[in-house]
């Protein structure tokens, strides 16, 4: 790819500061990804977009400094940080802590290789999270893949259930699952099925 083709691909001007223009493109993409972080079915699209920026940047002679803090991360160790044996509320909190940490790493990173690594780690973590909540086997026919539920509402429900000694998935009885939690579990199960199908 020639520099002219790379500039056209990224819709930037060769006369301007290339690094600044590409960093702006990366920043906008990061914002878009972050707003839709839980939409696992969009990850292939994002990986392609990051790779497109990476190829064009390379053709333009732009190199990205890697963040040394991200070099010790790999999908296996990240995914192992979720413990399936925890009670539901603890598992939920563990996931939220990992999500916060990943968001910080993602926010700090500019290098495309770091972004891909962080997204790969997050994808693996998300898969474990979804598989945990899919154990409930809730009917999913009426659930939209784009359903967005408030994590705070789920947290409060799980806290309430903990106070009633409903700690683990097997403690739930299908007829007594609070509606928001039932919707969340059905959504997780539907996303998990879609992810497994791809």
Residue with tokens 């791809």: 198
Token pair recorded at residue 155: 């947290």
Percent of the chain surpassing pLDDT 90 = 18
pLDDT value, residue 59: 86
Residue with tokens 């009426």: 142
* CA–CA separation, 70 and 103 (whole Å): 13
Q: Tens of pLDDT along 5-38?
A: 888 888 888 888 888 888 899 999 999 998 888 7
- Judged against a pLDDT cut of 50, whether residue 68 lies above it is answered with yes
Whether residue 94 contacts residue 83, with contact meaning beta carbons closer than 8 Å, is answered with yes
Q: Tens of pLDDT along 40-56?
A: 888 899 999 999 999 88
- Judged against a pLDDT cut of 90, whether residue 169 lies above it is answered with no
Least confident range of 11-15, 84-88, 114-118, 163-167: 11-15
pLDDT value, residue 76: 46
pLDDT value, residue 73: 54
- The three-class DSSP label of residue 61 is coil
pLDDT value, residue 190: 87
Residue 155 binned pLDDT confidence (cut-offs 50, 70, 90): very high
Residue 59 φ/ψ, nearest 5 degrees: -65, -30
Token pair recorded at residue 93: 């909190």
Over its C-alpha atoms, the chain yields an Rg (Å, rounded) of: 20
* CA–CA separation, 102 and 84 (whole Å): 20
* CA–CA separation, 5 and 3 (whole Å): 5
pTM, 2 dp? 0.80
Average pLDDT, the chain: 83
């Amino acid at each position: 790819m020639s520099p002219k083709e790379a500039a056209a691909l990224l819709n930037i001007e060769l006369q301007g500061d290339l690094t600044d223009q590409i960093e702006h493109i990366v920043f906008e993409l990061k914002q878009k990804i972050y707003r839709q972080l839980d939409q696992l079915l969009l990850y292939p699209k994002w990986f392609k977009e990051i790779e497109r920026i990476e190829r064009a940047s390379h053709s333009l002679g732009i190199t990205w400094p890697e963040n040394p803090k991200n070099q010790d991360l790999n999908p296996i160790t990240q995914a192992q940080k979720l413990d399936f044996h925890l009670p539901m509320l603890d598992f939920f909190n563990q996931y939220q802590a990992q999500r916060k940490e990943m968001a910080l790493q993602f926010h700090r990173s500019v290098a495309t290789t770091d972004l891909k690594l962080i997204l790969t780690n997050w994808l693996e973590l998300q898969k474990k999270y979804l598989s945990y909540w899919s154990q409930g086997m809730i009917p999913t026919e009426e659930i939209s893949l784009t359903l967005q539920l408030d994590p705070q509402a789920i947290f409060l429900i799980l806290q309430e259930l903990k106070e009633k000694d409903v700690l683990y998935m097997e403690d739930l009885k299908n007829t007594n699952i609070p509606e928001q939690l039932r919707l969340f579990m059905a959504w997780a199960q539907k996303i998990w099925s879609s992810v497994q199908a791809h």
